[in-house]
Amino acid sequence: MLRKDRWRLIFMAAVIAISAVVVLRGKVNLGLDLRGGAHIVLQASGTKDVPLTPDSLDRLRTVLEKRVNQYGLTEPTLQKQGADRMIVDLPGVEDPQAALKLIGSTALLEFREVVQTLYSAAPLPPQAERKNYDSDEEFNAAVKRWNDYKVQLEASQAKAMEQAKDFKGEEGQIVASDDSGSIYLLGRPMLTGNELSNATSGFDQLGRPDVSLEFNSTGSELFEKATEATVGRQLAMVLDGSVISAPRVNERISGGKAQITGHFSVEEAKGLAVMLRAGALPVNVSILENRSVGPSLGSDSIKAGAYAGMIGLAAVFLFMLVYYRLWGVTADLSLCTTLLVLFALLMAFKATLTLPGIAGIILTIGMAVDSNILIFERIKEEMRAGKTPNAALTSGFSNALTTILDSNITTVIAAAVLYYYGSGPLRGFAMTLTLGIIASLFSALVVNRVMLQLMVNYGSKTFQARK
């Protein structure tokens, strides 16, 4: 065996070994159409103060990326569509409503003084429990009283809110309510979330979920001045126009730290901390589409794709074995290597496999075999011309190389155009097709060459039989 053949064998073995390790230890990221999840389309709109521009849309995408990444969602896809829309795909999301709240909330945090409490909501008592009553009649009567009181309370809150809408305060003041239904007249913002340096979720001294805030140097000064100015009064924390907490300030607070407590669940506190860390959305957004893809649909797609792939693979294997016999064995082994390297590349680049991506894999199988057929036919032509097996092998690969590279390079160019201008499934198809071409070139030009060279060196009669 020549020195270059030995190096080619070592290179082949190294790539196959590394690919096998990556495939055994890695995991293919499945796209929304295969794994299920949430598909959200956002409509961005500007204001007089913040007009909608390409730069503001880019900043919107940056803030959304920070939110979904910090929340721990795996393989999110965010893409601009046109001049004012953003597509957000979140594979594997089990709670679409929580994801929608995380994505669609502006998360504008403001600290405002409570100027006046316009309506103080009465607390809703706990619901009746059957174990506290001697009979079903008493329990049913208690449930009815509780429901009647709830309806009366909600009607009272709605009436108060309607009246509060007509309340005219000074310039910069707003009317806002909290979760309990209490309505406040709030002063101008004394501090905003723009001065935050960090926000983390945790638990307070009573074990209730809370969000701890840390301000930067500017925010620390503003927060200290705000608490000093409101000693003995309430300082409301307002998120997107709703009061989430309105504690009474007993003394000036320095150190640049604050705590938000409220009726949070652990997940709600975590989501609020994520939104505050990522920052407020630079423009207003509205939800145009919120579609959930069930995992059963993804499972059916995977099964159908795998079934089609196996049928195609088996048909190609059989054709190569029948038509080329022993040469067909090398082509089939080369094809198996192509699939191994392809999946290793998908895992290494953390690419997301979609349903069109499965189609790209099936297309890769056909293209890989096409390269092998070109090589085999060139070798047969050289052998019919009277060349020795070794010379025919060398000339066959040299003559087929230009055609193989030309066809694959043009395909890569088309895939690059699809990836650049396409979105979602088209990009998944383009990525899978490109990686498949790289894997097929390696298998055809390296793996196939090594196996055919071994046949020439150790079984020349068998090789000549292909003439």
Angle (CA) 18-306-290 rounded to 5° is 100
**Whole-number Å distance between alpha carbons of 78 and 88:** 5
Say what the pLDDT of residue 2 is: 66
Exposure string of 258-276, with b = 16+ CB inside 10 Å and e = fewer, is: bebbbebeeebbbbbbbbb
Exposure string of 307-328, with b = 16+ CB inside 10 Å and e = fewer, is: eebeeebeebbeebeeebeebb
CATH 3.30.1360.200 segments of the chain? 109-266
In words, the CATH class of domain 3-31+294-462 is mainly alpha
Structure token pair of residue 79: 């893409």
Say what the pLDDT of residue 158 is: 79
Q: Along the 467 residues of the chain, how does pLDDT read in single tens digits? A: 567 778 888 899 999 999 999 999 888 877 777 777 788 888 888 777 778 888 888 878 888 887 777 666 656 778 888 888 888 888 777 676 777 777 777 677 888 998 888 887 777 788 888 888 888 888 888 888 888 888 888 888 777 777 776 676 677 788 888 877 888 888 889 988 888 888 888 888 888 888 888 888 888 999 899 999 988 888 888 887 888 888 888 888 888 888 877 667 888 788 778 777 777 777 788 888 887 776 555 567 677 777 887 888 888 888 888 888 888 888 889 889 999 999 999 888 877 787 788 888 888 888 888 888 888 888 888 888 888 888 888 888 888 888 888 888 999 999 999 888 776 677 778 888 999 999 999 998 889 888 888 888 776 555 554 44
Distances (CA, A) of 93 to 37, 50, 321, 346: 5, 32, 45, 22
Q: Which residues pair with 202 in a beta bridge?
A: 210
Say what the pLDDT of residue 106 is: 66
Structure token pair of residue 447: 């793996």
Classified by CATH at the fold level, domain 109-266 comes out as Gyrase A; domain 2 (3.30.1360)
* 222 closest CA partner among 193, 259, 179, 243: 193
The CATH number given to 34-105 is 3.30.70.3400
Phi, psi (degrees; rounded to nearest 5) at 16: -65, -40
CATH 1.20.1640.10 segments of the chain? 3-31+294-462
Q: Is 106 in contact with 240 (CB distance < 8 Å)? A: yes
Say what the pLDDT of residue 344 is: 93
Helix axes 355-384, 389-421, angle to 10 degrees: 160
Is residue 279 helix, strand or coil?
Answer: coil
Residues 6+ apart with CB under 8 A from 271: 71, 98, 101, 102
Kindly report the pTM of this predicted structure. 0.59
Say what the pLDDT of residue 278 is: 72
Say what the pLDDT of residue 63 is: 80
Say what the pLDDT of residue 322 is: 85
**Whole-number Å distance between alpha carbons of 391 and 55:** 61
